[in-house]
Amino acid sequence: MQVTMTVNGVEYSREIEGRMLLVHFLRDVLGLTGTHWGCDTSNCGVCVVWMDGEPVKSCTVLAAMAGGHEVRTVEDLADGAELDPIQEGFRQCHGLQCGFCTPGMLMTCRALLDKNPDPTEGEIREAISGQICRCTGYSSIIRSVRWAAVHEATSAREQQEVAAQ
Amino acid sequence: MQVPAPFEYERATSVDQAIGLLERLGGSARLVAGGHSLLPMMKLRLANFEYLIDINDLHTELGYIRLSDDEVRIGAMTRHRELLESDVLADVFPIFADAEKVIADPVVRNRGTLGGSLCQADPSEDLSAVCTTLDASCVIRGPGGSERLVTMEQFYVGPYETAVADNEILTEIRIPRKNLPVGSAYAKVERRAGDWAVVSAGAAVWLDGGRIRDARVGLAAVGPNTTGLPEISAALRGHEPDESLYELAGAIAARSCDPVTDSRGSAGYKRHLADELTRRTLRKAVERARS
């Protein structure tokens, strides 16, 4: 069957099997291997991407279901060489070690900050409760998200001050 | 790599068009909403269908929470996240928010739906217990625009089996408000965040003056389907709520349920939980009904 979807702002049309999962479409058909493929049972969250602005587990969404929708993957976070603040937060605060869970963590945490720019530790823990990290013990991920929240608030304030002058 | 066996993918454009497809394709077709129960089962070959009919586009038609004086109507495509975030629902039936906080995780809740959860008919499924507790009815639509209304007891035929026929769709859940102050609560014991229940319980209490006009308790994971316990309702009606009454209800729950020993716990432990969670949720429901 034919499926057409927008991924990171680019429209793609491909011939696929109805049973193909979104995660495999992104990785194997489009070559976007930033999205990882983990447990296959919607438990681990390494495959999280956005569909129409909301994080979803792409191992449990058919590629066909994403037809006509907008998908965003981890490849779209950085603007050229400039990292998204959430990526910079993970770099500054050691939010990753092996990096396997990182793409999913980044997409979920970016969505969290867009909705709630100043999340508490509890809110961050709740947001990533469907994702597993076996390296960090989560504490450094929480610090990374807080780093990004504080950094974004500071940048926004500075921009307002510049605009006011 | 786990992928489902091959199938043809169809996309529904309206409820009646979906029913038309079901009529034509019969038992070889299945509806898929959020897909977070069905797709894992298909990956494991526990479920195999020649056709999958994607009904996500019906969210515009079937995604709603409507409140009137005598009932609450919730569309079958309403997603978990929408149930959790609804202020209207939190105000009238906080049992939904209690349950939604412990159903899977926030990312899964972005996709999963009320109708999908009920139609999965998993004995451990939380929204089934919530709807059983609230004495909900299910609207099932079939060919030619025909609709029938069934109680939760009639809806469940067995584990993973419902009263919805091959050419029908569950479209709506209706919950009576009974025109009285009502309190409701849900509690679940799980092994880790987002897991299925070891045991969970819901309670709803309708007060009339200081006395209980009606009370209902629903349990999940302690029998072939989520179960309401009419004996508890009978024991509570007409009484002033107090600790001894909750104790009595807990004892009835423990002896009436039918748990099995499995990796989540022994039957004895589950009976203990049925007792304790019944008491806790009744206590909380009465508190809420009074406030």
What's residue B1's pLDDT?
78
Instruction: For B8-58, give the CATH class.
Output: alpha beta
Residue B267 has pLDDT above 90, yes or no: yes
- In this structure, of A18-22, B23-27, B274-278, the range with the lowest mean pLDDT score is B23-27
DSSP type of residue A77: T
pLDDT digits (tens, 9 = 90+) for A26-82: 999 999 999 999 999 899 999 999 999 999 999 999 999 999 999 999 999 999 999
CB-nearest to B107 from A41, A67, A130 is A130
User: In B, which residues are within 8 Å of A18 by CB distance?
Assistant: 6-9, 52
Q: What sign does the dihedral A94-A99-A101-A107 (CA atoms) show?
A: positive
Find the mean pLDDT for residues B191-213: 94
Contact B55, B13 (CB under 8 A): no
Classify A1 as helix, strand or coil.
Answer: coil
What's residue B192's pLDDT?
87
pLDDT digits (tens, 9 = 90+) for B24-81: 998 999 999 999 999 999 999 999 999 999 999 999 999 999 999 999 999 999 999 9
Boundaries of every domain in chain B:
8-58, 59-176, 182-290
Provide the pairing of β-strand B51-54 with B8-11.
parallel
pLDDT grade, residue A90 (50/70/90)?
very high
What's residue B225's pLDDT?
80
Contact A118, A151 (CB under 8 A): no
What's residue B258's pLDDT?
93
CA-nearest of B127, B115, B125, B140 to B34 is B115
CB-nearest to A130 from B7, B35, B108 is B108
Q: Which residues of A127-158 are buried (b: 16+ CB within 10 A; e: fewer)?
A: bbbbbbbebbebebbbbbbbbbbeebeeeeee
Chain B: closest CA distance from residue A81 (Å) = 29
Chain B: closest CA distance from residue A10 (Å) = 22
User: In A, which residues are within 8 Å of B40 by CB distance?
Assistant: 41-42, 60
What's residue B11's pLDDT?
97
Percent of chain A with pLDDT over 70: 100
User: In A, which residues are within 8 Å of B59 by CB distance?
Assistant: none
CA distance B133 to B184: 9
Q: Which residues pair with B65 in a beta bridge?
A: B74
Interface ipTM > 0.90: yes
Flag if B107 and A131 touch (Cβ within 8 Å): yes
CA-nearest of B81, B76, B125 to B107 is B81
Mean pLDDT, rounded, of chain A = 97
pLDDT digits (tens, 9 = 90+) for B115-139: 999 999 999 999 999 999 999 999 9
Chain A: closest CA distance from residue B122 (Å) = 17
Flag if A130 and B111 touch (Cβ within 8 Å): no
0.90 exceeded by pTM? yes
pLDDT grade, residue A15 (50/70/90)?
very high
For chain A, domains (ranges, CATH) are 2-76 (3.10.20.30), 85-164 (1.10.150.120)
Q: What is the CATH number of domain B182-290?
A: 3.30.390.50
Classify A99 as helix, strand or coil.
Answer: coil
Find the mean pLDDT for residues A125-149: 97
Find the mean pLDDT for residues B176-198: 93
Q: What sign does the dihedral A27-A28-A29-A31 (CA atoms) show?
A: positive
Flag if B111 and A61 touch (Cβ within 8 Å): yes
Lookup: tokens for A97: 């070690």
- In this structure, of A1-5, B164-168, B193-197, the range with the lowest mean pLDDT score is B193-197
CA distance B234 to B244: 15
CA distance B112 to B134: 21
Flag if A19 and B56 touch (Cβ within 8 Å): no
What's residue B228's pLDDT?
83
CA-nearest of A100, A4, A62, A160 to B6 is A62
pLDDT grade, residue A5 (50/70/90)?
very high
CA distances from B176 to A88, B73, B78, B133, B173 (A): 51, 9, 18, 11, 10
CA distance B104 to B74: 20
Chain A: closest CA distance from residue B216 (Å) = 30
Instruction: For B59-176, give the CATH class.
Output: alpha beta
What's residue B193's pLDDT?
86
Residue A23 has pLDDT above 90, yes or no: yes
Find the mean pLDDT for residues B179-195: 93
